């Protein structure tokens, strides 16, 4: 299997040439204070070295070893503690953090590229800094000044790590029925009692302390999601001088035996009157948690891209070296017993499909990250609100579409290897197992589709969708005279019109029949995702076309040819998706429960 190498040239191309991120950063004063093109490039270079040189070599052996649980303590695979120290020493946990408390203040457009490299190299490990960054984001946005001053300066460097404790054995998507309770104390703290499951890196041996952000209900809380509060519950209590005190009354009851990401600890956490502190307002815990959800859900989508990139790298190398049969057009390698399998059309179909998803997906995740930066940092209210609306609309697409296609790409990569793809030593089966979870955690993809269709489209009559349609339409209008782009603009416009037509039809139909939202949602998200990636590929063509002539490396010409494949062979799927949506919910809801 090919050794994972950070795709730095592709990342720089998307960041600098497709989206001109430095111009965006310069327009956001709080971002411009912390980053310039030279700093960004140095960060990417160093991140690539860590991903390829430190984390990727640990990936397979760590999967073999897994984490070990012993009487509440969790030990990590060999090399993880040292790798974590590398992350700590470089300050990588705080890359996007608030500089007031020791973070580096980098924009999400840059942080997203770092995340892809880390996740592509070693997803199980990459979850640790990802969860800490999410905890920091929620605490920085909603915690009191005292909590931020006490915890963030140790969380950003990674001296302490973070965990998010939401799910309970009986409450996954429906968090309104959680049973974890928080009883107030006279000193302003709370005693938190309950059990949480599926807590990623809830216990481990890499950091000095683990800071849990726990959803729980106060004694007088309203029923349902409006009665949920958020609490900070540390593994070790923190003294007034910042030193660690006694062990809190929480423990890891067990770790799960899982299909994939075996090198990460997925914990059952038991809280037995553990002392915690309220984050944000009482009964507003979900709002506080959703502050970081847009970032985390994009991060999970990026995991899908990272795994798919790793699979593509390996499949490409294998296709160039594996000799099987002769090309349909005749012998290509006269001095060999057979030709490399990359000469065969079906192998090319597989590799090009992977490239279409990976490179288009990378552009889309960067596009969403740009809107996150606008929503967070823009000083003009109208611009910031525009960014917030785009983030709300695009986040479920980024999470679900990129992870669905991430699994697709990894399965295709495994298929390129044939029988060897089913064997552990080649690495492809691990990628399939690891990426599978991305479709489930941080909100299962069916729920993401419901969120997109129900809350982000139908609930506001398509108003958020119109913002996206206007952005794509403006690009099409502005580039009518670009000869290189012209062949792509008509099919892009047709796909956008198809999406707009379906959007309108579902909005209208759902007014009479609420089942129309759920019946349409998954196909609608796929239709939206394919159209969004077509937009990304059109932007890639615009950036690459002027540099393709005379490009001896094949980098830019390869982009143009992959774009052509995407528009010819992948985008037409939108036609069948639209027809399925238009058929409505009748056949889906016709069977009685017994008839299943």
Find out whether 303 and 403 touch, Cβ atoms under 8 Å.
yes
Is the dihedral angle over the CA atoms 105, 111, 117, 122 positive or is it negative?
A: positive
3-state SS assignment for residue 534: helix
Helix (H) or strand (E) run with residue 49 in it: helix 37-50
Tokens for 101, please give them: 């408390």
Helix (H) or strand (E) run with residue 466 in it: helix 463-478
Please give the backbone phi and psi of residue 290, each rounded to the nearest 5 degrees, phi first.
-75, -15
Alpha carbon separation from 30 to 36, 77, 91, 95 (Å, rounded):
12, 39, 20, 15
Give the active site residue among 442, 466, 508, 512.
442
Helices (H), 230-344: 285-321
- The reply to whether 442 belongs to the active site is yes
Give DSSP secondary structure letters for 478-512.
Answer: HTTT-TTTHHHHHHHHHHHHHHHHHHHHHHHHHTT
* β-pairing verdict for 160-165 and 229-234: unpaired
Please give the backbone phi and psi of residue 335, each rounded to the nearest 5 degrees, phi first.
-90, 5
Show contacts of 457-460: CB within 8 Å, 24+ apart.
457/393, 457/503, 457/506, 457/507, 457/524, 458/506, 458/507, 458/510, 458/517
Would you name the residues annotated as active-site residues? 442
């Amino acid at each position: 299997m090919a050794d994972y190498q950070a795709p730095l040239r592709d990342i720089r191309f998307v960041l600098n040439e497709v989206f001109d991120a430095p111009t965006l950063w310069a327009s956001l004063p709080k971002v411009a204070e912390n980053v310039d093109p030279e700093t960004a490039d140095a960060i990417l270079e160093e991140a690539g070295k860590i991903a390829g040189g430190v984390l990727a070599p640990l990936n397979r052996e760590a999967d073999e070893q897994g984490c070990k649980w012993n009487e509440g303590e969790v030990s990590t695979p060999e090399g993880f503690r040292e790798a974590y120290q590398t992350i700590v020493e470089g300050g990588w946990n705080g890359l996007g953090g608030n500089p007031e408390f020791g973070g580096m203040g980098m924009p999400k457009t840059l942080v997203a590229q770092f995340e892809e490299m880390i996740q592509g190299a070693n997803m199980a490990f990459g979850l640790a800094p990802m969860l800490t960054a999410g905890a920091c984001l929620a605490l920085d946005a909603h915690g009191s000044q005292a909590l931020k001053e006490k915890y963030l300066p140790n969380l950003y460097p990674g001296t302490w790590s973070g965990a998010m404790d939401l799910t309970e054995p009986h409450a996954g998507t429906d968090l309104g029925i959680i049973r974890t309770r928080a009883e107030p104390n006279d000193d302003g703290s709370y005693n938190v009692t309950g059990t949480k499951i599926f807590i990623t890196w809830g216990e481990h041996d890499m950091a000095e302390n683990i800071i849990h952000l726990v959803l729980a209900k106060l004694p007088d809380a309203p029923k349902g999601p409006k009665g949920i509060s958020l609490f900070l519950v540390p593994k070790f209590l923190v003294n007034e001088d910042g030193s660690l005190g006694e062990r809190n009354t929480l423990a890891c009851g067990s770790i799960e035996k899982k299909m994939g990401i075996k090198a990460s600890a997925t914990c059952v956490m038991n809280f037995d009157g553990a002392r915690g502190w309220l984050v944000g307002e009482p009964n507003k815990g979900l709002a506080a948690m959703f502050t970081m959800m847009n970032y985390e859900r994009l991060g999970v989508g990026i995991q899908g891209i990272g795994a798919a990139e790793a699979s593509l790298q390996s499949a490409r190398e294998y296709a160039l070296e594996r000799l099987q049969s002769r090309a349909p057009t005749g012998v290509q390698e006269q001095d060999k017993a057979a030709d490399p399998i990359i000469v065969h059309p079906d192998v090319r179909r597989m590799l090009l499909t992977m490239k279409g998803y990976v490179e288009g997906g990378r552009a889309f995740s960067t596009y969403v990250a740009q809107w996150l930066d606008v929503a967070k940092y823009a000083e003009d209210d109208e611009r910031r609100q525009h960014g917030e609306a785009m983030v709300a609309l695009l986040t479920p697409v980024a999470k679900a579409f990129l992870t669905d296609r991430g699994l697709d790409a990894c399965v295709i990569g495994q298929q390129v290897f044939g029988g060897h793809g089913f064997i552990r030593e080649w690495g492809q089966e691990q990628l399939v197992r690891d990426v599978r979870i991305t479709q489930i955690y941080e909100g299962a993809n069916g729920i993401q589709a419901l969120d997109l269709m129900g809350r982000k489209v139908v609930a506001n009559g398509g108003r958020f969708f119109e913002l996206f349609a206007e952005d794509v339409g403006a690009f099409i209008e502005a580039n009518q005279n670009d000869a290189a782009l012209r062949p792509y603009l008509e099919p892009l416009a047709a796909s956008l019109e198809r999406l707009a037509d379906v959007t309108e039809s579902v909005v209208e139909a759902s007014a009479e029949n609420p089942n129309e939202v759920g019946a349409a949602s998954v196909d609608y998200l796929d239709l939206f995702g394919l159209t969004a990636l077509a937009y990304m590929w059109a932007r890639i063509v615009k950036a690459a076309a002027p540099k393709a002539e005379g490009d001896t490396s094949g980098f830019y010409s390869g982009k143009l040819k992959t774009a052509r494949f995407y528009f010819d062979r992948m985008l037409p799927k939108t036609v069948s998706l639209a027809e399925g949506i238009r058929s409505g919910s009748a056949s889906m809801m016709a069977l009685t429960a017994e008839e299943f």
